[in-house]
Every structure is written in structure tokens, then in C-alpha cells.
């Protein structure tokens, strides 16, 4: 079994393009990724790391992202694509720490682009900043989703905002609202309209991804998330972590004592 399959990867500072595509469920992230892959391959080697939430009850995850990618049916393109579904497992955020190591490994092995498709918008999606060097936030015609993204701080982190399903009622209002919301930002991200089902805007989006500029204001937030993820990874990999969790839940071990034991 290779290193990429068993997850035993060393995190390196490999140069390369890592793009996180995030947004609330139902805005069409998977369809957008499919459309992007159709346009960027076979001229580019592209990896897709799709994160699925782990059930807190069963510990399982659906991991069905390959099913939703029609591009894999095209043999001439499929050979240029690597798809890996990843369960969140014990990570407190929606982006497990191992994803960064996987992305670095892929870039070091001649992939031109790594796309990370996240679970959905929310505070935990700030974690994608620790992995990606470009962040694309996908919005839909339902304006409530945009409000949640604003609350989570995702719009401030975004290098590009995509309003998908632009052929549906309400999409133009979302574009206008987002434009107004971002007027106070000195380096506001560009906004692009797409329709993944009709193909509208996908050629432009695919080209923009390859040449997307990093926003200055996102750098510090990205560094902060990188530090938080590194600290969490040290905690989770502690051999005593699971045993101490058991003692906290079964024996009433207090937090202060748990922290002391983890630091021994």
C-alpha cells in the first residue's frame, strides 16, 4: 500500500496550487468541480480531495464523491484525475489534518492542481485556510446561505466568490448583496456567475482558477489556521488521547487533569 493510500505522509511546504471550494450544502459544489475537471483535463493533472463528515454515532462516512463525477466516465480525462474521499474522523473542524499532507504529497508527485471540496459553510470551514492557498466560496440563490458565510468570516477569506445556479430566481439579488457587503473591503474578491447544469461561466471559472491571485488580507488568517491545525494534530496523535477521552466520559476526569496527562 502506498503512502498516499495509508495516510502516512509528512507535511511539507511544497509549492503548488491548492484550491479549497467551500459553500453551504446544495449550492452545487460537486457539479462545479465536475465541470472544472472537464475543462482542465487532460492538459493538467488534477487531484480532488473530497471531505465527507463522519457520523458521530456510527463513525462512518458516505464517501461517494466518485459517483457524482461524470468526467471519470471519459477515459481520456480520467487518467489525468485522482479522486480521494476523506472522512473527517476525529478532527474538530470539517477539514481533517491529514488533507494537508495528502495535498503536499500530490503536488510533489507532479500534480498541477489539488482541489479540496469541503463539507459545507460554517465556522469550521475556516479550517480550509490551513490547507489551501486559494479559497473559492460558492453561493446560491438562497440569500440566507450568504449571511451564514458572512458570519463565519468566509467571505473575508475568499479569493473568489462564485454565485452558482445563476439561471435561477434570486441569483442576481445575491450578486448585488454580496457586492454591497464587500464594498468596505480594500481588496474585495471578484464575483463570478455560473450555472453548473447549463455550463454557463465554467470556462471563465476554470481559467480563473489557474491564475487566481491571493488576497493580502487572507494571509494572516491563513497562518492562524495553520498554527491551530498543527496544534490540533499534535493533540490527536498523542498515544494517550483516546484513553483520556474514555476517562473523561466514563470516570468524570476533569479537563485540567486531562490536559496535564496529555502534556506528560
Q: pLDDT tens, 63-83?
A: 455 567 899 999 999 999 999
For the segment 141-156, the average pLDDT, to the nearest whole number, is: 61
Q: pTM of the full predicted structure? A: 0.80
Mean pLDDT score across all residues of the chain: 81
27 within 8 A of 164, measured Cβ to Cβ: yes
Q: Span 3-217: which CATH code?
A: 3.40.50.300
Q: Tell me, what's the pLDDT at 142?
A: 72
Residue 110 has pLDDT above 90, yes or no: yes
| DSSP secondary structure of the chain | --HHHHT--------SEEEEEE--TTS-HHHHHHHHHHHHTTTS-EEEEEEEPPPTTT------GGGG-GGGG-HHHHTTEEEEEEE-TT-SSSS-THHHHHHHHHHHTT-SEEEEE-S-SSGGGGGGGGT-SEEEEEE-S-HHHHHHHHHHTHHHH-SEEEE--TTSTTHHHHHHHHHHHTTT-TTPPPEEE-BTTTTBTHHHHHHHHHTPPPPTTHHHHHHHHHHHHHHHHHHHT-TTHHHHHHHHHHT---HHHHHHHHT-
Q: How confident is the model at residue 3 (pLDDT cuts 50, 70, 90)?
A: very low
Residue 102 has pLDDT above 70, yes or no: yes
175 within 8 A of 169, measured Cβ to Cβ: no
Q: Give 232 or 29, the one with higher predicted confidence.
A: 29
Q: Tell me, what's the pLDDT at 93?
A: 46
136 within 8 A of 171, measured Cβ to Cβ: no
Q: Tell me, what's the pLDDT at 78?
A: 94
Q: Tell me, what's the pLDDT at 19?
A: 95
Residue 109 has pLDDT above 90, yes or no: yes
Q: Tell me, what's the pLDDT at 163?
A: 94
Nearest to 240 by CA among 259, 256, 214: 259
Q: Tell me, what's the pLDDT at 223?
A: 79
Q: Using a pLDDT cut of 90, give the percent of the chain over it.
A: 43
Q: Tell me, what's the pLDDT at 95?
A: 55
Amino acid at each position: 500500500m502506498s503512502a498516499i493510500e495509508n495516510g502516512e505522509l509528512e507535511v511539507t511546504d511544497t509549492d503548488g496550487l491548492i484550491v479549497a471550494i467551500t459553500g453551504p450544502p446544495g449550492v452545487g459544489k460537486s457539479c462545479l468541480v465536475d465541470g472544472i475537471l472537464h475543462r482542465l483535463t487532460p492538459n493538467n493533472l488534477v487531484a480532488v480531495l473530497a471531505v465527507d463528515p463522519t457520523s458521530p454515532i456510527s463513525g462512518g462516512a458516505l464517501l461517494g464523491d466518485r459517483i457524482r463525477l461524470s468526467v471519470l466516465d471519459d477515459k481520456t480525462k480520467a487518467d489525468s484525475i485522482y479522486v480521494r474521499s476523506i472522512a473527517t474522523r476525529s478532527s474538530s473542524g470539517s477539514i481533517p489534518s491529514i488533507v494537508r499532507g495528502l495535498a503536499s504529497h500530490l503536488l510533489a508527485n507532479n500534480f498541477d492542481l489539488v482541489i479540496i471540496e469541503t463539507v459545507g459553510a460554517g465556522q469550521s470551514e475556516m479550517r480550509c485556510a490551513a490547507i489551501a492557498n486559494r479559497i473559492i466560496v460558492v453561493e446560491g440563490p438562497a440569500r440566507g446561505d450568504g449571511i451564514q458565510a458572512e458570519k463565519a468570516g468566509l467571505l473575508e477569506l475568499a479569493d473568489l466568490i462564485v454565485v452558482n445556479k445563476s439561471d435561477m430566481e434570486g441569483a442576481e439579488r445575491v450578486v448585488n448583496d454580496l457586492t454591497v457587503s464587500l464594498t468596505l473591503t480594500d481588496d474585495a474578491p471578484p464575483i463570478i456567475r455560473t450555472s453548473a447544469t447549463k455550463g454557463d461561466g465554467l470556462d471563465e471559472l476554470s481559467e480563473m482558477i489557474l491564475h487566481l491571485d491571493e488576497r493580502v488580507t487572507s494571509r494572516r488568517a491563513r497562518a492562524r489556521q495553520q498554527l491551530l491545525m498543527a496544534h490540533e494534530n499534535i493533540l490527536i496523535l498523542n498515544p494517550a488521547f483516546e484513553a483520556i477521552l474514555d476517562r473523561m466520559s466514563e470516570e468524570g476526569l476533569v479537563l485540567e487533569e486531562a490536559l496535564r496527562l496529555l502534556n506528560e
